[in-house]
Structure formats: C-alpha cells, structure tokens
A and B are shown apart, each in its own frame.
Chain A
Amino acid sequence: MTRLISLVAAATVVVSSFIIYGGTAAAHERRMVGPYQFVVGWLNEPAYVGLMNSLDLRVTDTRVTPAKAVEGLEKTVTADVQSGGLAPLSLTVTARFGTAGAYNGYVMPTATGTYIFHIKGKVESLDIDEKFESGPGRFGDIEPTTALQYPNKVPAANEIGTRLGDLQSGVDQTRLLSGAAVVIGVIALGAAFAMSRRRA
C-alpha cells in the first residue's frame, strides 16, 4: 500500500513538472523560420528588472521527426537586445551546457517594459534576420520588483535616474529663481539708494 502511495506521489510530481514546464514554455515565442523552429524568451520568467537574466534561444530542425536540435549556432548567429527605442546591446551567444540546440545570451535588464531580441546570421545554410519582441502572446516583458520587495522598497536603476533628473531640474529652477531674486534685490537696493539721495 505504501509502495502504491509512493508511486502515485512520484507520478504526480512528474506530471506536475511537465505541467509547470509546459507553462513556462508557453511564455516563449515560437516561430517557424524556414524549416527551423525558433523558441525565444527570457531564461528566467517572470523576468524582473535588476536581476541577471538571459536570452533563451532554442532552435530545432523540423524536417525530421522528432525535430532535431540545431547545434553550433553560437558560431554562426549574433544576438542583441533592445529596450524601447534605445541603442541595442550585443549579447554573447553561448551554447547551453547539457542542452543541445539551446543558447544563452546574458544581460541584466535595468528598465521595466518591452524588450526586443534581434537574432541574425546563418542557421546551417539559411540566412536569418528575426526580431522577437516581448508582449502578450509572445514572451514576458521585464517586470518591476516592487510588489515582491520586503520590507523596504528599492527603486530600480531607471527610476533612480528619473528621480535624479527631476531633482537636477528642481535644482536648476531654484538656481534660476535665486539669480532672478538677486537681480531684483540689487535693482531695488539701487532704486532705494537713488531715491534716498534725491530726498537728501
């Protein structure tokens, strides 16, 4: 009886793993490029700002059944990542140890929002130039960590940048107003001096 319960428990764990694994894979974009299936997303999802993450690229050749992992792409393709309209960052594409046809490109996203992976080069004899953008039905955006932080909330790098910008703007405005006040003060003093001389 105990053995039966152990078997059921083991089976449940295995099935759950598949379900969980399947859910994670669903947060990747799948796209056919010629005969090759590209699966692209973040290595760690949900993907959070300020945490080390990586491009998760998997390529399989669907001309054979079952589909065959395509290896050696770290030598023939390049990848970069882009946040919004900013200049892209080149990633170093490396083959993932122990998983044929899977590749990494590490990056630490420092802003929340939409990211684009741009992959180009050659897959075997096929030229490729594909852009994969995070979003609904594709793979996840970079999310803020605010809701997970405890007990203190730490702003992300881009938020700190924005706040510093606001602070600098405030300082500049204060400097301008101070300058104007000094000018008005000097004029007022001059006028008062002139009036007192005239009265005398």
Chain B
Amino acid sequence: MRGLLAALVAASVLILMGGAAAAHANYVKSNPASDARLTKPPTDVRVTFSETPDAHGSDVAVLDVNANRVDKHDVTLVSDEPNTLRVSVGAIGDGGYIVSWTTVSAVDGHETKGAFAFAINAPLPAIKDIGPSAPPPTALEIAGRALSYAGMAVLTGLAFFTMFIRIPADDAESQRERRLVIVGGAALVAGSALLVLNQGTNIPGRLLLLLALRAFAGVVALVSLAVPPRFLPADARREGIAFLGLAAGLTATLVSHAAASGDLGSVAVDYLHVTAISIWSGGVVAFSYVAMPSAGNADPRQLGATIWRFSLTALVAVAVIISTGTWAAFDRLVLIEDLVETPYGIALLAKIVLLGGLLALGALNLLVWGPRMRRGLTSSAQFWRGVMGETALFAGVLVAAAFLTSFAPPAQANGAAFDETKHISGIRIELLTATTLPGRNRFVVRVQQGLTPISGAEKVALRFTMVEHDMGEQELVATERAPGEYVAEGSPTAMLGTWKVQVIVRLAGRPDITALFTVPVSQAAGQEATTKIIAIPPYQLIVFAEPFQPQAGAPLTINVVVVDAKGDPVTGKKVHATFSGPATAPPLDAVENTAELGPGRYRFTVPGLEAGSWKITISVSDAGSGVYDLEVTR
C-alpha cells in the first residue's frame, strides 16, 4: 500500500513538473522585434516568453500612440511556437505602436507585465511607465500562503513528533493531538481557499488542481479524526497524517520558484527545505501544545530526555534548512546586495534573522535547560518560555516565507544571450545583449537603485574594446526606451573574440558610474547557415546577412565580399540580386562604397521579406551567378 502511494506521488511529480517552466513568464523575443522599424504593417504580433503563459489570464495589446487598441482581441497560444502568444492586427497605417503584454504564470498564477515598441515608416514611440513588472502580492495571497504553510508544518511536525519523539502518554495528550490535527487541516483548507479567491476567475488550471489537492489533504486529515480507532488505529492515522503533510508540502514546492526552473534538482532541494522546516516548526508546536502541559508535573528527567531527542531531530532539520536555503539563495539572488535592495531579498533576510533567533533559542534548550532537567533540576518554566518564543518566531518565519514565495526573485529568466548585473556605488547596472554573435547587436542597459528604475539619466554610453586585438575604442550612446531601460544598437563587436564593454551612466549631481563587463562574442551553432561562400569563377563571394536571424517584415542587409582566386578584394563590379520565395520581392543592385565598407565589399539593403525560405540569386557583372539561401523567421 505504501509502495503504491510512493509511486503515485512520484508519478504526480513527474506529470506536474512537465508543465512547469518558470514562475514568472518574461519577454524573450517577439515579431515584430522590440524597436523594429518596419516598412509595411504586420498581420499579427507574436510574443515569446520564458515559459508557457496561461492563455486564460494573459493578454497582448497593440496600441497606437494615442493608446487606442488596434489589435483584434484574439489572443491565443501559438501551437507551433512554444511559449508564444499571438494577436491579430487589423489594417494599421504608418506610425509608432506599443505592444503592452501581461502574462499569468501557469505555475503559480503570478502576473508579469511589460511593453515594447515598433514603428512602420515612422519614429519609434516612447514607452510609458507601466508600473512594476511584477505587481506586489495582495494581503489575501500572503494570508493564504502563510495559513497553508502553517497547516503543512503542523500536520507534518505533529505526526513526526508523535511518531518518533514522544507518543502521547495519556488521553489528555491524545485529545490535544487531535485538536492540533484539526488546526492543521483547517489551516490547509482555509489557506488554499484564500489563494483560490485571490486568483479569481483567472486561476490557471494547474494551480487550481494543486490547490485543490492541498485542500483535499486538509479535509482528509480532518476526516481521519472521525474514523473509529478499530478501523484506523492511532499509529496508522499518524502515518497517514504525516503523508498528508508531506503531500501538501509537495503541492507548495510544485507552485514555487523552484518549479519555476523546471529543474528536478531545484525541486528536490526546495522540497527538502519545506519538509525540514515543517518537521522542526511543527515539532516545536507539538512539543509546546501536546507534550508540555503534561510534562510540567512529571519528572524533569523525562522532559530532559524528550528535549534531547527533539533537539537531535531539530539539529538535522537545521542542517538541511541552512544547506538547502543557501543553495536556493545562490540560485535566485543576483548580487549579495539583493538582500537589502529587493523585496524578495528583504523577505529572505527577515527569514534568515528569524531563523537565527530560533537557532539561539534552540541552542539554549539543547545546551542549558535540557542538561539541567536531565540532571533532575527543574527548569521547565524557562524551557516553556523558550518554546513559546520559538513558536512565535516560527509564526514570523511562515509569514516571511509567504512574502518570499510571492515576490519575484531577482534572478529572472529572459531571452538575452548575455545578461550580467554589476552593483556600483549603490546603483545596479545590468547589461543585456540580444545575441553574442559578431555583427549588429542590440545592447540594453538597465539602471536601477534597488529595484526602482532610474529614469532621465543624463547619458548612458557603452564603450567597446577588444581584448585579443587592438581594434581601438568605439562608443555607442544609448537612448531611454522605457523607465530605467536604455538601448543602443550598432556593430561595434564585429569580430569573434572577447570584448570589454564599459557602461558609463551619468546622473545629475554625481560622478559618472562606470561598470565593466566582459562579453564573449562567438560563433554560435547555426551561424554558418547565414554565412556562406559562393563560388562564381573566377571569383568567390562571401555572403552574410545582418541580422543573422532575419525576421519577417524587418529591414535586413545582405553583405557580399567579392574576392579573386588569390583572395584579394575585387572592386568596381556590378553585383545584382534577384529574390524568389514565399512572396515577390523586387531585384536589387548592390551598393559599393569602398571608403565606408572597405574594398570588395558590396551591400544590399532589403526593406523586409516575408517569413519563409528564400533563394537569392546573386550575379557579378563579368561572371556568372550563385544562389544564397536565407531563412526568414516569423
């Protein structure tokens, strides 16, 4: 029977993990791309996120510069593109447009929002402040989480305490044990109900299922008390309640930030953390409520022995909590300063401080009061006060944990190829790049104080120097595209190698803040697909597209380097291209500009192509022609 239960639990974990990806669905890419300058209107807008958003509560709105919605309100998940929402766009004219998106996490129902812009034959519009990207939790959510965690802790800790530390000695203790089961079961049911209420009708199906299972565990615990002992002996009931507590803990882990990563290791670590803290905190409650009232009049040596057994269990739990908690903190914090600068970090710090207080009280029980009582000296009053203090601190820990699991952790998944954060003079500077391939790139600098974006910087500049070769120093000046977000585009990192990127942020009234990043620019898998050598005797053509992965409707450049048999550049040729693919595109003549592009370099500027496979026939005036294959993505 127990084997079957274990198999059921394991199967449930695997099934539920399958749908988990990240607790906050963040922007990864879109079509049109962020800040795309198009020559003709798109028929739809597609946004890809770091996890599958719950389509029910998510939205993608396309707004014109007057904030009028111009899409068709038909947001759906795209079946052939993972984690992607699409919305149809009607006939829209030239101008700037803002895509405002909101996602609801399918894992824990948390909301994330953001915006980006694109333009059709017009300047890019400014992106207005849309508020925090992850709105703060509601009081209902905090209460629901804290109650749920309390229920899990009471059921699990009580069961372990009464099974392994001290079996209830008399009817009074058994009665108190039953009351605690009622409290734990009711807390689970009430906490789950509050969380469902908080989500309202936008609750994702997976979250609803897990909350229902959690509430069901509470109900079963309550019902178990009504079963006569001849059908359910006390030992079996305790085992069952331990299982229900552990199962409820599993539902918490499966809607946690750990489930966010989709990594089974993270989930296992989180579950160990939840279980250890439940055994310790619930055990303290069981000790104070079930065992202490009877123990007050008993031989202090008995109480001392119980303290010793419980302290050993607590020590193991503490070791597990510290090790798993440290691992999780490294996983979810970006900088140590996050502990005091971010809501998630502050909640974590509060939890650490409270656990520190608990450790001190636990040590007092283990090292002072316990030994005194084992020697026959009465210290039960002091011990009682200590246990009550521990219980109060545990209540604080549960509330801190409720906040902790409600806030978005600083380490968030996104689609950037390079993402690093530095903390300089109290300012967080985050550098993100769209790709680490050589050539044209988009550099995003996020400037924040804590998690508050810093708008209106006097200047944000990026300076590029190459480590391996002396390529001189180049500068790009970024413009503010959204509150605290500064964007620059260009091709300073044109060569494969290691680049030092110095980000200079100028704020009024203070010296420049300078952060240095090391960005590797490498040849990624698949890049060779866009850089090809075409033989057109007596010449060879090296052809590559910018950007390396062209998107439908967005302008692109096709570069052609013509070299002779010796590898020397060939100048003064007429290079011509014709296009065949999913739609018609007019033929083009390449521009040769030796002064700016270099000798033998020719360039086609293509206004935009439809998505699909294109064959571009490139001919050289006094030679033949060759075909360049190009894949244009949606």
Chain A contact residues, CB within 8 Å of chain B: 83-87, 111, 113-114, 135-137, 158
Contact = CB atoms under 8 A, between A and B. Distances in A.
A84 B463 contact: no
Contact of B512 (A87, A114, A136, A137): A114
B510 A137 contact: no
B504 A113 contact: yes
A114 B474 CA distance: 14
Interface of B: 458, 461, 463, 472-475, 504, 506-514
A92 B201 CA distance: 70
B475 A113 contact: no
Contact of A87 (B461, B463, B504, B509): B509
Contacts of B472: 136
B474 A136 contact: yes
A135 B463 contact: yes
Given A135-B463, A136-B463, A85 B512 contact: yes
Residue from A114, A137, A158 with most neighbouring chain B CB atoms (10 Å): A114
B369 to A, nearest CB: 13
Nearest to B506: A85
B536 to A, nearest CB: 37
B508 A85 contact: yes
Contacts of B474: 136-137
A114 B458 CA distance: 13
Nearest to B510: A85
A85 B425 CA distance: 14
A154 B514 CA distance: 21
Contacts of B512: 83-85, 113-114
Given A136-B472, A136-B473, A136-B474, A114 B504 contact: yes
Contacts of B508: 85
A155 to B, nearest CB: 15
Contacts of B504: 113-114
Given A85-B506, A113-B504, A136 B475 contact: yes
A84 B511 CA distance: 5
9 contacts: A83-B512, A85-B458, A85-B507, A85-B508, A85-B511, A87-B509, A114-B461, A136-B472, A136-B475
B579 to A, nearest CB: 37
Contacts of A158: 511
A84 B473 CA distance: 19
A113 B424 CA distance: 15
A86 B511 contact: yes
Given A84-B506, A86-B510, A113-B512, 13 more contacts: A83-B512, A84-B510, A85-B458, A85-B507, A85-B508, A85-B511, A86-B511, A113-B511, A113-B514, A135-B463, A136-B473, A136-B474, A158-B511
Nearest to A86: B511
Contacts, number: 39
B408 to A, nearest CB: 29
Given A84-B511, A84-B512, A85-B511, A137 B506 contact: no
A194 to B, nearest CB: 12
B425 to A, nearest CB: 8
A135 B509 CA distance: 20
Contacts of A83: 511-512
Contacts of B513: 84
The 3 A-B residue pairs with the shortest CB-CB distance, nearest first, are A84-B512, A136-B473, A84-B511
Nearest to A140: B473
Contact of B509 (A85, A114, A136, A137): A85
A158 B514 CA distance: 14
Contacts of A87: 509
Nearest to A114: B512
A133 B475 CA distance: 12
Contacts of A137: 474-475
A37 B474 CA distance: 24
A135 B473 CA distance: 9
A198 B34 CA distance: 73
A135 B511 contact: no
A111 B511 contact: yes
Residue from A86, A113, A135, A136 with most neighbouring chain B CB atoms (10 Å): A136
Nearest to B512: A84
Contacts of A136: 463, 472-475
A182 B514 CA distance: 40
A135 B513 CA distance: 15
Contacts of A111: 511
B363 to A, nearest CB: 15
A172 to B, nearest CB: 15
B299 to A, nearest CB: 21
A114 B511 CA distance: 9
Contacts of B514: 113
Residue from B463, B510, B511 with most neighbouring chain A CB atoms (10 Å): B511
A135 B512 CA distance: 13
A98 to B, nearest CB: 33
Contacts of B461: 114, 135
Contacts of A114: 461, 504, 506, 512
A113 B515 CA distance: 12
A59 to B, nearest CB: 25
Nearest to B464: A136
Contacts of A86: 509-511
A140 to B, nearest CB: 10
A111 B512 CA distance: 10
Nearest to A162: B425
A167 B512 CA distance: 22
Residue from A84, A87, A114, A158 with most neighbouring chain B CB atoms (10 Å): A84
A136 B504 CA distance: 13
A111 B507 CA distance: 16
A111 B514 CA distance: 12
A113 B581 CA distance: 52
Nearest to B477: A135
Contacts of A85: 458, 506-512
Nearest to A113: B512
A77 B475 CA distance: 30
A73 to B, nearest CB: 28
Residue from B506, B510, B513 with most neighbouring chain A CB atoms (10 Å): B506
Nearest to B465: A136
A83 B507 CA distance: 11
Nearest to B504: A114
Contacts of B475: 135-137
